[in-house]
Chains A and B, each alone.
Chain A
Amino acid sequence: MGQLRAVEFDRFVAARWAALLHLARLLTGGDRHRAEDLLQEALVKLWFAWPKVAEQAPEAYVRRVLVRAAARSARRRWWGEHPVDQLPEPPEAGDETAAVDERTRLEATLALLPARQRAAVVLRYYQDLPERHVAEVLGCPVGTARSLTARGVARLRLLLAEAVEPAE
């Protein structure tokens, strides 16, 4: 019984590792190490909840744990995030590595958002969840989730526009 549980759990983690780690990176604003820590914490919790959620939606469970752990860790500890007027080291126009750096730019702009706004934007546009599910994962009313998403997108619009066309 335990061996079967371990095999199924390992198979699930191996299949979803990359997607979950990318979600954790987006939720942490591109911090790879912190993303791995959060993902491990979520997967350890998933192991103990596996008999209950294995047949239902284990990925949804991990997503919920990740979002809440990311918000909690952002409140608990200073991760070096501080808002600035301009993005540090914006990519130069016409750079060959612009496509590669697109991820870095996105993560850098996401890091400038508050944790709950960032989680709302990631859940809405990366996970493509409806607003009702975003509210459930965040543990807030639908109106609050909608407001968080709208404000996050507006902030990202501003930051990314400045990154592409830096103000002189």
Chain B
Amino acid sequence: MDHFEQELARMMRDSREDTPYEDRHRHRLQAGVRARQRARTAWMATGSVLTVAGLGVGLMVLPNSFAQSGPTGPQPRPVTSAESAPMPSTARPASTAKEAPMPTCTSTTGPEPMPSTDGPASPVKPMSSTDGPASPAERMPMQACTTATRPVPMPYRPSTSEPVPMPTRTATTR
């Protein structure tokens, strides 16, 4: 810092006036603070109103735009559960089920009849949709085929009210 710069710094410091902080300065400053406070409040209120208005308009316009565009995807198929529907295939009409029963249960892969000791009193009848639900196996054949976790009911069970004796080896020897 050369002589001129030192002199410049001195001049800047010495030229300072002692101006006290008077009441008029204080009142003017307080008025400025209040004015700015009002301006800030008005600005924030305006911003809040505009924000709420924008959200309201957006919430009104968006559902209308979705409704006008319409469904773009394929029609959803009716959802049916396996227990309530007689046929696992929803594409096949119900009238054709009588004409063509499920081949998995009536075909050669069906369950073989258990050996019965009661004689030929209850011969095993093949499943037929025209005979009606004579046996429990015929009453719910589709359910047995479609539900994997459930045990398959015995197709040879007679439709009697008496309890069926267990097919044991001792019963057959009597």
Residues of B within 8 A of A (CB): 4-5, 8-9, 11-21, 25-26, 28-29, 32-33, 36, 40
Contact = CB atoms under 8 A, between A and B. Distances in A.
Contacts of A103: 11, 14-15, 17
Contacts of A92: none
B36 to A, nearest CB: 5
A160 B12 CA distance: 13
A125 B9 contact: yes
B8 A156 contact: yes
16 contacts: A17-B20, A17-B25, A18-B16, A22-B15, A22-B17, A44-B29, A44-B36, A102-B11, A103-B15, A106-B11, A106-B12, A125-B5, A128-B9, A153-B8, A156-B8, A160-B8
Interface of A: 10, 13-14, 17-19, 21-22, 26, 36, 40-41, 43-44, 47-48, 102-103, 106-107, 121-122, 125-126, 128, 153, 156-157, 160
Given A17-B21, A103-B11, A125-B9, 16 more contacts: A13-B26, A13-B29, A17-B19, A17-B25, A18-B17, A18-B18, A18-B21, A22-B15, A22-B16, A26-B12, A43-B29, A48-B33, A103-B15, A106-B12, A126-B9, A153-B8
A160 B10 CA distance: 14
A125 B8 contact: yes
B90 to A, nearest CB: 68
Nearest to B9: A125
A40 B11 contact: no
A25 B161 CA distance: 114
B5 A21 contact: no
Q: Chain B at the A interface: mostly helix, strand, loop or mixed? A: helix
Contacts of A47: 29, 33
B14 A14 contact: no
A21 B19 contact: yes
Contacts of A156: 8
